[in-house]
């Protein structure tokens, strides 16, 4: 396997590892080569990121590249629009797990939420949780906050918490805006300390990542994880 990075210095490993362990190292482009995926996985292994987040077609490749490491393989469900049925999302989830995914990030049906069809949103979240939990697969619910009112955000957070999801997540990164401090604080307030909040979308530098963590985020989704960790190392 090619080596794309060097491990962090031993003398600062504990602090760096704690910080890096909050990051989901992300590659969700519709194009690229296998070398791009190998590089993503090797960086995640070297820096000790929580997970790589990739499109479903790359799950088995990442499982192979990350064999023997603690880095988890996360994939997206109903991505990026959320406009598939609960049955389709359930199939995607089962298929992802069968291929080796250990985390799933599912986009809710935003239009159903906005039409007041809460039973649709509840059904798809319940379905994902029921599939993931017996397999010890972490499940995250993507709100796409840029399209929602605060009341709608709170509603989804409550549904996700009641269903037993592990995380609520701000954004896909492909909407009109990404994570904001306001949204992270709101989501943390609703779900409480027993559930994770993932800030994702538009997090490209250390300042933004730290702002999200201070607001309560327990995961950071970014494609700039290496640069962010390197910048963090300079603070120590």
Residues serving a catalytic function are 105, 169, 198
d(CA 131, CA 120): 17
Residues in CB range of 91: below 8 A, 6 or more apart: none
DSSP per-residue letters across 173-211: S-SS----HHHHHHHHHHH-TTSEEEEESS--SHHHHHH
| Cα 60 → chain centroid | 18
Q: φ and ψ at 80, to 5 degrees?
A: -100, -5
Q: Are 105 and 138 in contact (CB under 8 A)?
A: no
d(CA 133, CA 46): 29
Element (H, E) at 60: helix 59-65
């Amino acid at each position: 396997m090619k080596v794309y990075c060097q491990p962090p210095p031993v003398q600062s490993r504990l602090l760096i590892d704690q910080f890096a362990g909050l990051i989901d190292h992300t590659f969700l482009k519709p194009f690229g080569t296998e070398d791009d995926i190998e590089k993503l996985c090797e960086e995640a292994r070297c820096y000790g990121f929580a997970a790589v987040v990739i499109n479903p077609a790359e799950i088995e490749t990442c499982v192979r590249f990350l064999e023997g490491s603690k880095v988890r393989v996360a994939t997206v469900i109903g991505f990026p629009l959320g406009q598939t049925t609960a049955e389709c999302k359930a199939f995607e989830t089962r298929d992802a797990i069968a291929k080796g995914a250990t985390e799933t990030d599912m986009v809710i049906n935003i239009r159903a939420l906005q039409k007041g069809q809460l039973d649709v949103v509840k059904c798809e979240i319940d379905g994902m949780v029921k599939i993931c939990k017996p397999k010890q697969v972490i499940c995250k619910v993507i709100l796409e906050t840029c399209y929602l009112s605060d009341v709608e955000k709170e509603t989804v957070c409550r549904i996700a918490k009641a269903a037993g999801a592990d995380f609520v997540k701000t954004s896909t990164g492909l909407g009109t805006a990404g994570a904001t401090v306001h949204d992270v604080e709101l989501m943390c307030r609703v779900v409480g300390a027993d559930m994770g909040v993932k800030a994702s979308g538009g997090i490209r530098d250390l300042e933004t990542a730290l702002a999200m963590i201070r607001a309560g985020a327990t995961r950071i989704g970014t494609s700039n994880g290496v640069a962010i960790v390197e910048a963090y190392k300079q603070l120590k």
